[in-house]
Each structure stands twice: as C-alpha cells, then as structure tokens.
Amino acid sequence: MLPLCLLVTVGLADATLGLVGASRAAAQTPDRPIVSIAATVTAEAATQAPFPVRIGPPASIPRDSFVKVRGLPPMATLSEGHAISPGSWAIALNALPNLKILMPAGVTGSADIVVALVGLDGSVLAEARSTLVVRGAGALAPKAVPDRREPSLTPQDRQRALGFVKKGEELMAAGNVEAARLFYERAADAGLAQGALALAATFDPDELARRQVVGGLRPDPAAAKRWYERARELGADEADEPLRRLLTARQP
C-alpha cells in the first residue's frame, strides 16, 4: 500500500495535468462562426433589393454547411438558393455575396426573420435575427433631410457596440480583416458611427494601402462609400473627407 502523502501527491499531479490538457484543448478550439445581418433589411415592392448576409470567420465555417432563412413572407423570392417551404430558403455559402430579395408589387409590411448557419447534419451552428420591412413602390425615395442623425444609443448598447469595435481592432492587428469586418458591421448595425467608419476603412483602397494589408484582399470603393455614408448618417462628420476622396478618384 502506498503512503497517504504519496497518494495525495500523485492525485494532485494528475489533476494538474488534466487542467493543463483542458486549457490547451480550449486554446486550440477555433472561433465559433458568426452570422451577420443588418437589424433591419428594407426592400421595395416589385424591386430587387440586396439581402446582405455575412458568415465568418472563414476558418470557423464547417465544410458543406449552408445558410437557412426562415420567417420570410410566403410570396418572397430570393435570387439564390431554393425554397424549402413557404417562407424558408436554403442558400449555398458561395451565393451570399450576390443574394437579393424580390417582393411582388402591392406587398407591404414587415416580418421577423431568422438567418442560420446549418451543418450538414441539420444542426444550427449560429444564427442572427432581423426585421424585413417592405414598402410600396416609390416609398424609398430619399427625403430632403439635411442632416440626419440616428437616435442616441443607450449606455448598455453603446458599451456593447464599442466592444465589437475593440474586437475588430484586435483582429485587424492580427491581420484577419474578414473577421474584423464582421465585428465592425455589428457595431454599425447597432448604431455606432465608429463601427461604420472602421468598416468603411477595411474596403477603402487608400486605407488598406496605408495599413499595408496583404494576402490577396481586394479593396471595394463602392462598399467603402456606402459605409462612409452610413457613418455620416450616424453623426461622424469625419466621414466627409474620405467620401470626397473616393468620389474624386472615380472621376475620369
């Protein structure tokens, strides 16, 4: 029989090794996938509208997974994928960049929708919720509002959005631009101008060159312009200068 002190020592050693093994396993666990969609998706009846869904980080997405959208009005049609049942669609991941939604003429109203990343076995890996707002033809024409500003964020919402920006900055510093965009977009969707500005910069050719971003990432001036405009709507006057620069660069 082993002495009691030896048994205790062996037991503590085993427990320590178990904790170390668990810590290493946790450190090696890849990031969970994130589904990102605007809090509100606006469409006009009888017109195709973008249906922007983003999934990432890329390394966290299981092979053969797909996106499932449910809660759409039964008469809604998506430009990609196929209908599973009335109001539910399945879309391949490579079809997401060009995804659009079409509502028939005369249809208006709103619907709560759920966008999920689904594994090959049918398990839900991640999901996000949004509200689809369908307006009548011509209802989306711009109104003469000289200086539009979004309502102020609550302290809790602002803190949460700032957390998204901080995480995005950490990912940018690590060179993971695609993942950083997801967090910046979540901050912008929450109504934080800083998130929209940061997201615009990840598409801005000059900003990408200044940060010396490499790895085949292509700039997108149109996306940069869209998010700079959103930042200005949210109150970021500093978006005016890069907007002017982008518009000047596009002139012949």
CATH code, domain with 186: 1.25.40.10
For residue 78, give the CATH number of its domain.
2.60.40.10
pLDDT value of residue 214: 58
Whether 122 and 175 share a structural domain: no
Residues 71 and 129 in one domain: yes
Per-residue confidence (pLDDT) for residue 86, from 0 to 100 = 83
Clarify whether residues 38 and 131 are in a common domain: yes
- pLDDT value at position 198? 94
What's residue 184's pLDDT? 94
Q: Which pLDDT value is given to residue 172?
A: 87
84, 105, 135 - which closes a domain: 135
The answer for residues whose C-beta is within 8 angstroms of residue 102's C-beta and 6 or more apart is: 47, 48, 49, 76, 77, 78, 79
Domain hosting 181: range is 155-250
40 pLDDT band, cuts 50/70/90, is: confident
pLDDT-derived band at 173, boundaries 50, 70, 90: confident
pLDDT above 90 covers what percent of the chain? Answer: 33
When pLDDT is cut at 50, 70 and 90, the band that residue 218 belongs to is confident
Report the C-alpha dihedral over residues 119, 121, 125, 127, rounded to 10 degrees: 80
Q: Assess if residue 115 is contained within a domain.
A: yes
Report residue 189: phi and psi, to 5°: -65, -30
Q: CA of 71: how far to CAs of 40, 62, 134, 143, 228, in Å?
A: 14, 24, 14, 30, 31
Q: Is the pLDDT of residue 202 over 50?
A: yes
* Predicted local distance difference test score (pLDDT) of residue 4: 40
Judgement on whether residues 246 and 160 belong to the same structural domain of the protein: yes
146 in a structural domain: no
Do 129 and 162 share a structural domain? no
Are 164 and 223 members of one domain? yes
**What's the pLDDT score for residue 116?**
93
More confident residue, 224 or 248: 224
pLDDT over 80 at 215, yes or no: no
In a domain, residue 106? The reply is yes
pLDDT (0 to 100) of residue 168: 92
Write the pLDDT tens digit of every residue in 105-143: 878 888 899 999 998 888 999 999 988 988 876 544 444
**If pLDDT is split at 50, 70 and 90, which confidence band does 185 have?**
very high
Q: Verify that 120 and 160 share a domain, yes or no.
A: no
Q: Are both 38 and 123 inside the same structural domain?
A: yes
**How confident is the model at residue 27, as a pLDDT?**
39
State pLDDT tens for residues 59-88. 899 988 999 999 999 888 998 988 888 888
Total domains present in the chain = 2
135 vs 228 pLDDT, higher one: 228
What's the distance, CA 238 to chain centroid?
A: 23
pLDDT category of residue 159 using cuts at 50, 70 and 90: very high
Q: 231 with 202, same domain?
A: yes
Q: Of 100, 135, 170, which residue is a domain's last?
A: 135
Q: Using CA atoms, how far apart are residues 187 and 148, in angstroms rounded to an integer?
A: 19
Least confident residue range of 120-129, 144-153, 236-245: 144-153
- Is residue 1, in this structure, part of any structural domain at all? no
Same domain, 129 and 169: no
Task: Answer with the one of 68, 100, 135 that is the final residue of a domain.
Answer: 135
In this structure, are 130 and 210 located in the same domain?
no
Residue 185 covered by a domain: yes
